[in-house]
Amino acid sequence: QVQLVESGGDLVQPGGSLRLQCAVSGLALDYYTIGWFRQAPGKEREGVSFTSSPLHGRTYYTDSVKGRFTISREKSNNTVYLQMNSLKPEDPAVYYCAANRYSQAWPPPSWGMDYWGKGTPVTVSS
């Protein structure tokens, strides 16, 4: 059974940092693109950052997080991380990780992801 479990969401002040974790089980992480999405109340889900399988070695960041967020994967514990620095008032949302095996599009669209976690909430407030 495939499971993606997010953790690390919290309340943080503007300018603060958080590291989100996506623990993956039931699939071979090396063969999957893992993406972080977020959805704020009343807004559409958006793709934030993606890491392709190591075979392709690609990463993607949406413009609003470039230079502030870093995605990484750790094969030894089947975990994908999203390091979020310099958090802004526009960053709060529920953050989801998702996995995709095959996609012609880069990054994969949300409707193309094969597996999803249940999300972890991030709040930015002073």
4-39 confidence digits (pLDDT tens): 999 999 999 999 999 999 999 999 999 999 999 999
Burial of residue 114 (number of CB atoms within 10 Å: 0-12, 13-18, 19+): middle
Is residue 96 within 8 Å of residue 37, measured between CB atoms? Answer: yes
Over the stretch 42-54, which tens digit does the pLDDT of each residue have? 999 999 999 999 8
